[in-house]
Homo-oligomer: A and B are copies of this chain.
Amino acid sequence: MTEQGPSRRRFLGGAAAAAGLAAGAGVAAGYGIRSAADDGAALPGGGATDSSSGGRADAVVPFYGPRQAGITTSQQERLMFAALDVTTTDVQELQRMLGRWAAIAARLTAGQLVSDSPVRTDQPPFDTGEAMDLGPHSLTITVGFGPSLFDERFGLSARMPAALAPLGTIPGDAVMRPAVSGGDLCIQACADDPQVVFHAIRNMVRAARGTAVLKWSQLGFGRASATGAGQVTPRNLMGFKDGTRNIHADDADALQQSVWVDPADSADNDAQAGWMAGGSYLVARKIRMEIESWDTDPLTDQERIFARHKVSGAPITGGDELTDVDYEKNDPGTGELVVDVNAHIRLASPEQNGGIRLLRRGYNYTDGQDPDTGKLAAGLFFIAFQRDPHAQFKVLQTRLGRSDLLNEYIAHIGGGLWACPPGVSAPGDWFGKNLFG
């Protein structure tokens, strides 16, 4: 393997070669080279349409950089998440695919089609086309490596970070469904338009053909966390504000402390896991809510479970949404703690867990009707980024899974753990290049 991006150039080079062969009547001039801006100019509205999202249609989040976008990026409105399994055992094929992915992600996040090579009309188009007029809508594409990628197939076992070791069975995990859990690779696509995220995942999966296959995917239809200081706290499907105390993207200290893998984290085993410096670990959990049961729960009980007021988001110990919770406050009448010992926010809060924090990027979801129960299949697709999932998510979730009052109304039914390497620095670099170097 050379040091240079193997697949980006092969991919684009191959396309260019194909175009050369096809010069003439067989080439759909313009198809392959349209960018969002080109398309916009051709639209009746005179620009990329802004009708399908809140963010600006032409808003671009830079792709190249020391860290992957989609982690501290101010949370977009829509998600499509995909888990894939690698089908090849040829490590170079895997690397070429990661190179193709980087090249495609760079283009799609800039509002361009998958390839700028002219398409041959006697070949399938490079791009599936459904996002052609939509603009990038702040698209980010974030890639991660699951623990299973580090088995014997690719010779990577010696490079597996300790932090990526499987989390084991956490209390409450007994109902996790293998069909929507794990995967050698993951792709998190976020944007302010659902068709843009669908298009991104579809074309990334298409570019993996012959190398990896889709294992499962999830569309998120509404934000369930705020990651920017200016963002209004959205509500989860239980009707409560979610993410009031999330880490904000401008809190550099918290990000350094809790989100980004530090070079020092692997100082004693640099050869093993140094490739993750500047990356972050992604934990996803598909959390089904027992919507019908929740909807019959009295307001006081709902507020006792969260220890927050439903409408305002204020702690039940007083104040407004941003007021600190008084975990020690007693009810003067009964003498009992106002915030139940097993209230959700007590078990999850940094103050009650030695300062442990997660950067959450959750989305609400619905899958329609659950064919087994007839109930509405809906809930929270929880995503959290962190420096060390064993020291962070696992500690918190062990406590929550064991005692959270909310457990009567939720079930963790899927998800996984992935190592998201540092960013793709420039054209020629690719996702996780240092892992293979």
> Contact between A232 and B45 (Cβ–Cβ < 8 Å)?
yes
> Contact between B235 and A130 (Cβ–Cβ < 8 Å)?
yes
Return the CB mask of A229-251 against B: 1 if under 8 Å, else 0: 01110111111100000000000
> Contact between A299 and B121 (Cβ–Cβ < 8 Å)?
yes
Contacts A219-B221, A310-B31: A128 and B239 contacting too (C-beta < 8 A)? yes
Q: Closest B-chain residue to A241, C-beta based? A: B133
- Interface status of A122 (Cβ within 8 A of chain B): yes
Per the bound structure, the CA–CA distance linking A193 and B364 in Å amounts to 13
> Contact between A222 and B239 (Cβ–Cβ < 8 Å)?
no
- Interface status of A300 (Cβ within 8 A of chain B): yes
- Interface status of A123 (Cβ within 8 A of chain B): yes
> Contact between A51 and B31 (Cβ–Cβ < 8 Å)?
no
Chain B nearest CB, measured from A219 CB (Å): 6
Q: Which residues from 30 to 88 on chain A have a C-beta closer than 8 Å to any C-beta of chain B?
A: 30-31, 34, 42-45, 49-55, 77-78, 80
Per the bound structure, the CA–CA distance linking A295 and B209 in Å amounts to 11
Q: List the number of copies, as a whole number.
A: 2
Q: Which residues from 75 to 133 on chain A have a C-beta closer than 8 Å to any C-beta of chain B?
A: 77-78, 80, 119-125, 127-133
- Interface status of A150 (Cβ within 8 A of chain B): no
Determine, out of A153-161, A194-202, A252-260, A403-411, the stretch whose residues face the partner at the interface.
A194-202
8 Å CB contact of A239 from B125, B205, B291? B125
Determine, out of A336-344, A371-379, A384-392, the stretch whose residues face the partner at the interface.
A371-379
> Contact between A366 and B129 (Cβ–Cβ < 8 Å)?
no
Residues of B with C-beta under 8 A to A122: 298-300
- Interface status of A359 (Cβ within 8 A of chain B): no
> Contact between A235 and B129 (Cβ–Cβ < 8 Å)?
yes
Determine, out of A9-17, A210-218, A262-270, A393-401, the stretch whose residues face the partner at the interface.
A210-218
Residues of B with C-beta under 8 A to A193: 222
Per the bound structure, the CA–CA distance linking A54 and B192 in Å amounts to 10
> Contact between A206 and B295 (Cβ–Cβ < 8 Å)?
yes
Chain B nearest CB, measured from A42 CB (Å): 7
Per the bound structure, the CA–CA distance linking A342 and B54 in Å amounts to 40
Task: Tell me the count of chain A residues lying within 8 A, CB to CB, of chain B.
Answer: 81
Chain B nearest CB, measured from A353 CB (Å): 27
Per the bound structure, the CA–CA distance linking A42 and B235 in Å amounts to 15
> Contact between B291 and A202 (Cβ–Cβ < 8 Å)?
yes
> Contact between A77 and B51 (Cβ–Cβ < 8 Å)?
yes
Q: Closest B-chain residue to A43, C-beta based? A: B232
Per the bound structure, the CA–CA distance linking A219 and B193 in Å amounts to 14
Residues of B with C-beta under 8 A to A299: 28, 31, 119-125
Residues of B with C-beta under 8 A to A45: 232
> Contact between A205 and B376 (Cβ–Cβ < 8 Å)?
yes
Residues of B with C-beta under 8 A to A352: none
Residues of B with C-beta under 8 A to A130: 222, 235-239, 364
> Contact between A195 and B216 (Cβ–Cβ < 8 Å)?
no
Per the bound structure, the CA–CA distance linking A42 and B236 in Å amounts to 18
- Sample of 9 further A-B pairs with CB below 8 A, known A52-B54, A128-B237, A131-B235: A52-B77, A124-B296, A130-B235, A133-B235, A195-B221, A195-B222, A206-B295, A215-B369, A219-B219
Chain A interfacial positions (CB closer than 8 Å to B): 28, 30-31, 34, 42-45, 49-55, 77-78, 80, 119-125, 127-133, 179, 193-195, 198, 202, 205-206, 213-219, 221-223, 230-232, 234-240, 291, 295-300, 302-303, 310-312, 364, 366-369, 371, 374, 376, 378
